Amino acid sequence: MPTTTVRWLTGKQFVGTDSRNHSVVLSGDDPAKGVSPSQMLLIGLSACTAYDVLNIMVKKRKPLTMLEIIADGEQDAKPPWAYRRIHLRYRVSGKDLTEKAVSQAVKLSQEKFCSVAATVRGVADITTEVEIVAED
């Protein structure tokens, strides 16, 4: 079972450490001195599905040369400011990619493999879109 630690540094600044001893600075300061905890959720969701999509596309023999996920989240106006809608835009490049193949990989990630999506899905509606970007 993964175990993480969040340690208070100063003011509204914290350091989070995962079970592999990797760290990230989080902050509620304004101006921020670290990643906002609520935006870290969007980053975690994006990274989780990115990992899956990369692996699925390799298995499809359509490896990606570029992957970027832009996450937009809509939160409630009042505390606790829960995310109600999250939109993920997958920007990808690779040889002979089709929107169908990438969309299938995204769907598999969202519905079967991504633990963060599975956790968030009960609270927020997650929508996706795919954009194939020409290689340089």
pLDDT tens column, 11-40: 899 999 999 999 999 998 778 789 999 999
Length of the chain: 136
pLDDT exceeds cutoff 90 at 136 = no
The DSSP annotation for 37-85 comes to: HHHHHHHHHHHHHHHHHHHHHHHTT--EEEEEEEEEEEE-SSTT--EEE
* pTM (two decimals): 0.93
Read off the amino acid at residue 30: D
Average pLDDT over residues 92-111: 97
Largest CA distance in the chain: 50
The mean pLDDT of 46-74, rounded to a whole number, is 98
Bridge partners, residue 9, by sequence = none
Percent of the chain at pLDDT exceeding 70: 100
Whether the per-residue pLDDT at 73 is higher than 90: the answer is yes
